[in-house]
Homo-oligomer: A and B are copies of this chain.
Amino acid sequence: MHYNQGYRLSDLAARVGGRVSGDPACVIHSLATLQTAGPGQLSFFANGRYLKQLRDSVAEAVLVTQAFEAEVKGNALVVADPYLAFAELTQLFDWRSAIRPGIHPSAQVSDRAEVSPEAEIGPGVVVGDNVRIDAGASIGANSVIGSDSVIGVDSRLEANVTLYPNVRIGQRVLVHSGAVLGADGFGFAKSSERWVKICQLGGVEIGDDVEIGANTTIDRGALNDTRIERGVKLDNQIQVAHNVQIGEDTAIAGCTAIAGSTRIGRRCTVAGMSGITGHLDIADGTHITAMSLVSRSISRPGAYSSGTGLEPHQQWKRNVVRFRQLDELARRVRKLEQALEHISTEGQDDDGC
C-alpha cells in the first residue's frame, strides 16, 4: 500500500554496518518473512530453527550472520545481529508518515495552552489549560489532553488517547490508542461500611523513549507521582496502579497488572497476564514468566514463575482435588517416614540381639 521507491542493498548495508555478499545494487522495496519474501524483498535469518526456510527462500536478499552466509541463495547482507539489523531497517519502511504541523480546525485547544508550531494536533483533539506540546509532537484524532500536561519533543499520541491533568510525557514517547494516563488511583478509606474517596493528588511522569500500548492504563499518584522511566516498553491492556515506579528499559507484556506503590527495577521483563501485588520491590534484571503472581518482593535477579501447567481437563480435576489435600498428604508422608524409621530401628535392635 505504501509504495516505496526502494533502497539499494548497499545503502541498507551502510545503514546497519553490514557487508553485501552478492549484488550491492539490487533494490529492496519491502521487508518480508523468509517464507513469503520474493523479488525486491529483504528478509532475515535469526533463529537456527528456520534453516530450512532460509535454504528455500527466494528473497531478493537476506540478513544473516557470517556463519550462515553460504546458505543464502540470493544476496546476503552479512551483519553481527540480523534481528537487530532487521529492527533498524523496519524503520525505513514504516507506514507512519511524517507529521503535518498545525492544528486541525476541529480541534479545541485552550488559549492558555502552548503548542509548538511544529506540532500536529489532529481533528477533534481537545487540549486543556496550561498544556505544553513541543516541536515534532503529534496528537491523534479525538485524543484529549488534560490541563497542566506536557508532551515532549517528537512524542506521538495515537487516536483516542486520554491524558488527565498533570501528566508529563518525555521525548520520543509513543502512546497507543485507548491508553488512559492519569486516571485516579484506586484509593479509599473505610468509614463504618462506606468507602471514603482519597482524592489522588499526584500526577504521572513518563520518561523519554517509552512506548505505551493500546488500552493500557497508568493511574496518577496519590500524593507523589507514578513514574515510568526512560526506555520502558509497555504492551497493551497493562494496568499500572498509583505510585508504581518502573525502572529504565524494563519491558512488560500485555494484560499484566501492577498494584499500588510497587517498584520494578531496570531491565526486567514481565511476560503477559502476570499480576504483581502492591508495595513490593522487584530487583533489576528480574524476569517473570507468563501469568505468574508476584506477591512478595524479589531481591535476587533471575527468572520466577507461579501457577500450574496445562493438562487434559479430567486429569486436572483430579489433581486439583489433591492440591486441596496437599498439606495433609505431606503430613501423611512424614508419618510413613517415621513409621518406617521405627521399623528399621526395630530391625537393627533385632540384629543387635
Q: Please report A residues at the B interface, Cβ cutoff 8 Å.
A: 1, 30-33, 36, 81, 83-84, 86-88, 90-91, 93-96, 104, 106, 108, 122-124, 126, 130, 140-142, 144, 146, 148, 158-160, 162, 164-166, 174, 176-178, 180, 183-184, 186-191, 193-201, 209, 211, 213-215, 217, 219, 223-224, 231, 233, 235-237, 239, 241, 249, 251, 253-255, 257, 259, 267, 271-273, 275, 277, 287, 289-296, 298, 302-327, 329-330, 332-333, 336-337, 339-340, 343-344
State the CA gap A200–B320 with chains docked (Å): 36
Query: Would you give the shortest CB distance from A211 to chain B, in whole angstroms?
Result: 7
Q: Which of B141, B315, B323, B344 contacts A319 (CB 8 A)?
A: B323
Query: Would you give the shortest CB distance from A176 to chain B, in whole angstroms?
Result: 4
Q: Which of B159, B164, B326, B336 contacts A322 (CB 8 A)?
A: B326
Given contacts A142-B142, A322-B326, A322-B329, could you give 19 more A-B pairs where the C-beta distance is less than 8 Å? A1-B130, A32-B223, A81-B189, A87-B188, A93-B199, A93-B201, A95-B199, A106-B108, A140-B144, A158-B164, A159-B164, A160-B180, A176-B183, A194-B249, A195-B249, A257-B272, A289-B313, A308-B323, A336-B340
**Interchain CB contact under 8 A, A315 and B327:** yes
Query: Would you give the shortest CB distance from A292 to chain B, in whole angstroms?
Result: 6
Give the number of times this chain occurs in the complex, counting copies: 3
Query: Would you give the shortest CB distance from A90 to chain B, in whole angstroms?
Result: 4
**Interchain CB contact under 8 A, A312 and B302:** yes
A186 and B213 in contact, given A233-B195, A315-B327 (Cβ under 8 angstroms): yes
Would you mind naming 24 contact pairs between A and B with Cβ atoms under 8 Å apart?
A31-B201, A36-B223, A81-B191, A84-B189, A87-B188, A90-B197, A142-B142, A186-B236, A186-B253, A194-B231, A195-B233, A195-B251, A213-B217, A235-B239, A237-B239, A239-B272, A295-B310, A305-B310, A305-B313, A306-B307, A306-B308, A306-B309, A307-B308, A325-B330
**Interchain CB contact under 8 A, B162 and A160:** yes
State the CA gap A333–B329 with chains docked (Å): 8
Query: Would you give the shortest CB distance from A326 to chain B, in whole angstroms?
Result: 4
